[in-house]
Amino acid sequence: MSKAASSTPAVIPPDSRGVRSLAFKAMGTACVIQFRCEDQKAALKFLAEALGWLGEFEAKFSRFRPDSLLSQINQAAGQRWVEIDAEMEQMLDMGEAMHRLTEGLLDPAMLPLIQLWDWKKVHERLPLEAEVQKALTLSNWKEVERKPGKIYLPRTGMGLDFGGFGKEHAVDQVIAIARRHGIVDILVDLGRDILALGGNGQHPFWHVGIQDGVQTDRCIGGLAVSGYAVCASGDYARRFEHGGVRYGHILDRRTGWPVRHGLRAVTVVAPTSLIAGIYSTCVFVLGRKEGLQFAESAPGVEACLQGEQGVTATRHFRQYQVQSA
């Protein structure tokens, strides 16, 4: 975690609406917490706990930290069992639930495939099909072995990645911390994974923009959100280009290749950030027809799909829309 997130500022004055705002970096992304709290000491006490929790979470579950517990599990692949604590058990249970809900489309053991298609690298050539198939065989949650307090990745080269749900879980936990501190008006934004409670001091809700998946410097509209999360998935931000073709960071477990079926972005509104994040990614992978059906089958989940064929939304998505963000 960066220095911006490791310590709490001495003073965060409220704006004209009574909203205090803190921008910082965590988990490799830009984050913002906005909330209303009249008492300065109470506000700082909440932020200290929230930022402290985020720092500990990142230190334990980031695969980019070589000393994290997740990295220890990955480094021991094919060699030995690794002892884990209750918090890691919880994360693994969430990964298992995500895997079941999406029928294996989202897999917490997809690290070999993710590394093969690393969007941050310069790709002088695309991976060979043999390389894709090898990574696919190693990217299999069903092969992960678990015992109470222990985990084992049985083959060298296997690895876990919590990128599909870790940040979303963190959003929900920061909101839970806010509730314990008696804060009722708050918006938590961790890299555009958002959950909002109450209102912004001017309205009994918060405004959240829907980023345009094609012209990414603008929004196609806005949402009025209170008591709900908003998460977006797409190939407009994290991607690389090769031979004039765009390859995004979201991979299709069925093919081993980046998703390429005409969708550019999916925005989901759901009761929790964890649910919103899982559904936005899964809908994006499934594509317009199947993705829309998948979203409409879930109670409390609404989705907006942007792509080459225009914008499509579930039946009740419009109830959250406002004229502008």
Arithmetic mean of pLDDT, 86-115:
97
**What average pLDDT does the segment 62-72 reach?**
96
Question: Is it true that domain 69-152 has CATH number 3.40.50.300?
Answer: no
Helix axes 86-101, 40-61, angle to 10 degrees: 80
The predicted-structure confidence for 27-51, as pLDDT tens digits, reads as follows 889 999 999 999 999 999 999 999 9
With 70 as the cut, is the pLDDT of residue 157 above it?
Answer: yes
Identify whether the C-beta of residue 231 lies closer than 8 Å to the C-beta of residue 221. no
Helices and strands (H, E) in the chain, number of each type: 9, 18
Q: Is there a contact between 89 and 62 (Cβ–Cβ < 8 Å)?
A: no
Query: Is 18 annotated to bind ligand?
Result: no
Tell me which fold the domain 205-325 belongs to: T-fold (3.10.520)
**Distance between CA 34 and CA 79 in Å, rounded?**
45
Q: Across-strand partners of 222?
A: 209, 322
CATH 1.10.3980.10 spans which residues of the chain? 69-152
Whether 62 and 127 have beta carbons less than 8 Å apart is answered as no
Residue 191 among known ligand-binding residues: no
Q: How many Å apart are CA 198 and CA 192, to the nearest integer?
A: 19
Range of lowest pLDDT (24-28, 91-95, 137-141, 167-171): 24-28
Cα atoms found within 13 Å of the Cα of residue 8, Cβ hemisphere only: 20
Let me know: does 181 contact 175? Beta carbons within 8 Å: no
CA gap 164, 277 in Å, rounded: 7
Question: Can you give the pLDDT at residue 294?
Answer: 97
- State the span(s) of the chain assigned CATH 3.10.520.10: 205-325
Give the number of other CB atoms < 10 A from CB of residue 224.
20
**Span 80-105, mean pLDDT?**
97
Mean pLDDT of 91-111: 97
Q: Tokens for 18, please give them.
A: 């009574």
Query: Could you read off the pLDDT of 299-325 as tens digits, one per residue?
Result: 999 999 998 888 999 999 999 998 543
By mean pLDDT, which of 115-119, 188-192, 194-198, 216-220 is the weakest? 216-220
Say whether pLDDT at 1 is over 50: no
Look at residues 258, 314, 264 and name the one whose alpha carbon lies nearest to residue 289: 314
- Distance (Å) of CA 44 to CA 7, 10, 153, 159, 178: 10, 8, 41, 38, 11
Residue 232 confidence (pLDDT) above 90: yes
Rounded distance between C-alpha atoms, residue 108 and residue 97, angstroms = 10
pLDDT, tens digit, for every residue of 264-275?
999 999 999 999
Does pLDDT of 25 surpass 50?
Answer: yes
List of residues 6+ apart from 152 with CB closer than 8 A: 76, 80, 81, 82, 144, 145, 146
